[in-house]
């Protein structure tokens, strides 16, 4: 991020580019507009510094509380409660059989376990499900049911609400189609509910089935690990707002119903129900030692659609829950502010984009020398990098090697700002057609030799990519200005050139290899699944 250090050019500035050839009146008007741009830039920088500073709070909590043990309560088999495993499915032929098999092999009293397959598919996935259910029942596991709806209203949230209406057990577990829960999952989670009657949710850590598949999966693994190892652990142990992550979470049914149940009012149904439960006084727990491995999207377009959906859903939840959270008399101010930061994780994307757009204008107008010292922004920007490094060190013996992908992670993150900003704007544009998305496709990728490109679930690129290409050109112009007038900002502009064009080029290359074309649908009219968000929850 450009700061005050970038403002000086040996104390000498050439004549402002915007003023050349203009009379005094026009020059005054241009100066006024540039001053407004400078104020906007400062506001964006301060908001970003405050937002990133909230991660500093989480980092401090993690460092001081990471050693606190979480003891598994001793609960006999006779005292274990009944559990329903809910599996919301939509066109997941590649992975649904693997999921059902893993759930049927969970180590739990069979008379207190039921698997509820909530299938909205319109392809051969339903046939795969029927065959797998028949296999499980032939082995003696009878407590598994296939539930289908006439209309796929509400997408994932609608399916979960439909299933919850039929649930007769004390607890429900939700797994997305690409997850493979280990056999001891329930035995390591359910006993924690016996120690606290107000415990509504136990969320487990996401592990990865295909983190090393390609560069994109490695980059996403860095972000996911940071979220679960540092952020969720700090929120849970620091008694701050946290949420379910869409999959791998266990809910107390009475808490779900008390909070109003699943709702399709937002595209982040997991975050929405979490905050409704928190505002009702329910408590959450995160278990970093219990994992539920899932598949990371290997395709750039799939990743972009997933992030765009999360951006829309999180921003909708911010709009929906910010005022109730601030008005709540149940929680102190610090809790509320951390909750707002939590809900704003994608809402800051437009400010990042605006800072980028303003930078060339401020260079041309020689405005950076007028800005206050913004070096603090550069300092706090290092906090997420420290968190990612600590997360890798906590999980993997080869953590140093994994950190080599941090620069690429930063580049992809910068390149995603257009895509994510569009998702945020969609949250402000509440028409239902705008809020329909394709689901994130899963391909059953475990080994590097496996291929996804020829799957019919592979996605074509959409019009957002054109915006990335155009902004890459704009970044080149900004780079030229920086090299000539303010070299200290040249690397900042170059990073956006590489990020926008690198992401777009990667997307085009993958699409070409898959034999796909540019989607004729607009990015705002992609039908599909509403799924939960990760980030950062």
Longest dimension (CA), the chain: 88
- The yes-or-no answer on residue 196 being catalytic is no
Quote the CA–CA distance of 343 and 531 in Å, as a whole number. Answer: 17
Q: With 50 as the cut, is the pLDDT of residue 112 above it?
A: yes
pLDDT at 30: 81
pLDDT band at 442 (very low <50, low <70, confident <90, very high): confident
- For the segment 143-170, what is each residue's pLDDT rounded down to a tens digit? 999 999 988 888 999 999 999 999 999 9
Tokens coding 338: 């951390």
DSSP 116-155: EEEE---STHHHHHHHHHHHHHHTT---EEEEE-SS-TTH
Percent of the chain with pLDDT over 70: 89
Q: With 60 as the cut, is the pLDDT of residue 104 above it?
A: yes
Set 120, 178, 207, 272: catalytic member: 120
Side-chain half-sphere CA neighbours of 140 within 13 A: 3
pLDDT at 525: 34
Cβ contact 103:134 at 8 Å: no
- For the segment 281-321, what is each residue's pLDDT rounded down to a tens digit? 999 999 999 999 999 999 999 999 999 999 999 999 999 99
pLDDT at 27: 73
Instruction: Kindly give the residue spans of alpha helices, DSSP state H, lying in 180-299.
Output: 185-189, 215-225, 233-237, 253-258, 269-278
pLDDT band at 507 (very low <50, low <70, confident <90, very high): very high
Cβ contact 236:242 at 8 Å: yes
- Specify the range with the lowest mean pLDDT, choosing from 120-134, 219-233, 361-375: 361-375
- Specify the range with the lowest mean pLDDT, choosing from 28-32, 41-45, 381-385: 28-32
- For the segment 185-209, what is each residue's pLDDT rounded down to a tens digit? 999 999 999 999 999 999 999 999 9
Side-chain half-sphere CA neighbours of 307 within 13 A: 27
Q: With 70 as the cut, is the pLDDT of residue 537 above it?
A: no
- The yes-or-no answer on residue 272 being catalytic is no
pTM for this entry: 0.89
**In sequence order, what are the beta bridge partners of 292?**
206
pLDDT at 441: 79
Residues in the chain, overall count: 537
pLDDT at 10: 44
- For the segment 386-407, what is each residue's pLDDT rounded down to a tens digit? 999 999 999 999 999 999 999 9
Exposed e or buried b per residue across 169-196, where buried means at least 16 C-beta atoms within 10 angstroms of its C-beta: bbbbbbbbbbbbbbeebbbbbbbbbeee
- For the segment 117-126, what is each residue's pLDDT rounded down to a tens digit? 999 999 999 9
pLDDT at 446: 72
Set 178, 225, 270, 462: catalytic member: 270
Mean pLDDT score across all residues of the chain: 89
pLDDT at 180: 97
Cβ contact 7:369 at 8 Å: yes
Q: Tell me whether strands 283-294 and 199-208 are parallel, antiparallel or unpaired.
A: parallel
Q: With 90 as the cut, is the pLDDT of residue 66 above it?
A: no
Q: With 90 as the cut, is the pLDDT of residue 511 above it?
A: no
pLDDT at 498: 97
What structural domains does the chain harbor? 1-537 (3.90.550.10)
pLDDT at 536: 34
Q: What is the three-class DSSP state of 64?
A: helix
pLDDT at 533: 36
Mutual orientation of helices 417-428 and 406-415 as an angle, nearest 10°? 40
pLDDT band at 6 (very low <50, low <70, confident <90, very high): very low
Quote the CA–CA distance of 9 and 5 in Å, as a whole number. Answer: 10
Cβ contact 89:174 at 8 Å: no
pLDDT at 425: 94
Q: What is the three-class DSSP state of 172?
A: strand
- Per-residue CA distances from 124 to 56, 128, 337 (Å): 47, 7, 47
Phi first, then psi, for residue 525 (nearest 5°) are -130, 45
- For the segment 405-431, what is each residue's pLDDT rounded down to a tens digit? 999 999 999 999 999 999 999 998 865
Q: With 80 as the cut, is the pLDDT of residue 520 above it?
A: no
* Chain position carrying tokens 């970038």: 6
Q: Tell me whether strands 249-252 and 171-174 are parallel, antiparallel or unpaired.
A: antiparallel
SS (H, E, C) 290-335: EEEEECCCCCHHHHHHHHHHHHHHHHHHHHHHHHHHHHCCCCCHHH
pLDDT at 516: 64
Listed in sequence order, the residues at least 6 apart from 451 whose beta carbon sits closer than 8 Å to its beta carbon are none
Q: Tell me whether strands 83-89 and 283-294 are parallel, antiparallel or unpaired.
A: unpaired
């Amino acid at each position: 991020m450009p700061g005050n250090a970038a403002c000086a050019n040996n104390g000498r500035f050439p004549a402002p580019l915007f003023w050349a050839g203009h009379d005094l009146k026009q020059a005054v008007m241009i100066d006024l507009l540039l001053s407004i741009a400078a104020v906007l830039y400062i506001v964006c920088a301060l908001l970003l510094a405050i937002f990133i500073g909230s991660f500093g709070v989480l980092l401090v909590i993690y460092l001081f509380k990471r050693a606190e043990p979480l003891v598994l309560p001793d609960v006999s088999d006779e005292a274990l409660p009944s559990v329903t495993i809910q599996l919301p499915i939509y066109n997941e032929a590649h992975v649904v059989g693997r999921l059902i098999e893993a759930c049927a092999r969970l180590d739990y009293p069979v008379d207190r376990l039921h698997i509820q397959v909530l299938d909205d598919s319109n392809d051969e996935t339903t046939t795969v499900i029927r065959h797998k259910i028949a296999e499980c029942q032939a082995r003696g596991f009878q407590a598994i049911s296939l539930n289908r709806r006439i209309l796929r209203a509400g997408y994932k949230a609608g399916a979960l609400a439909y299933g919850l209406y039929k649930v007769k057990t004390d607890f429900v577990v939700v797994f997305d189609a690409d997850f493979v829960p280990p056999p001891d999952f329930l035995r390591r989670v359910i006993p924690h509910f016996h120690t606290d009657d107000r415990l509504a949710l136990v969320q487990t850590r996401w592990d990865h089935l295909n983190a090393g598949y390609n560069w994109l999966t490695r980059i996403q693994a860095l972000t996911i690990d940071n979220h679960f190892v540092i952020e969720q652990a700090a929120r849970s142990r620091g008694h701050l707002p946290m949420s379910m992550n869409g999959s791998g979470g266990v809910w107390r049914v009475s808490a779900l119903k008390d909070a109003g149940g699943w709702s399709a009012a937002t595209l982040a149904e997991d975050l929405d129900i979490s905050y409704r439960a928190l505002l009702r006084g329910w408590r959450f727990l995160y278990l970093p030692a219990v994992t539920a491995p899932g598949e990371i999207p290997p395709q750039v377009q799939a990743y972009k659609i997933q992030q765009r959906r999360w951006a829309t859903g999180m921003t909708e939840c911010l709009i929906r829950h910010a005022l109730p959270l601030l008005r709540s008399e149940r929680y102190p101010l610090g809790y509320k502010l951390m909750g707002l930061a939590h809900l704003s994780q994608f809402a800051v994307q437009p400010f990042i984009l605006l800072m980028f757009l303003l930078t060339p204008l401020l260079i041309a107008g020689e405005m950076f020398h007028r800005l206050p010292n913004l070096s603090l922004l550069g300092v706090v920007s290092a906090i997420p990098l420290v968190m990612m490094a600590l997360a890798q060190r906590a999980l993997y013996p080869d953590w140093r090697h994994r950190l080599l992908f941090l620069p690429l992670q930063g580049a992809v993150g910068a390149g995603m700002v257009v895509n994510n900003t569009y998702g945020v704007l969609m949250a402000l544009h509440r028409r239902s057609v705008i809020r329909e998305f394709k689901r994130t496709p899963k391909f059953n990728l475990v080994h590097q030799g496996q291929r996804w490109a020829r799957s019919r679930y592979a996605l074509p690129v959409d019009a957002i990519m054109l915006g990335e290409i155009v902004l890459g050109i704009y970044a080149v112009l900004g780079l030229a200005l920086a090299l000539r007038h303010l070299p200290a900002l040249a690397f900042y502009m170059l990073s956006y050139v590489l990020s926008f064009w690198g992401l777009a080029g990667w997307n085009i290359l993958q699409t070409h290899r898959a034999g796909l074309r540019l989607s004729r649908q607009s990015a705002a009219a992609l039908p599909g699944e509403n799924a939960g968000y990760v980030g950062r929850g």
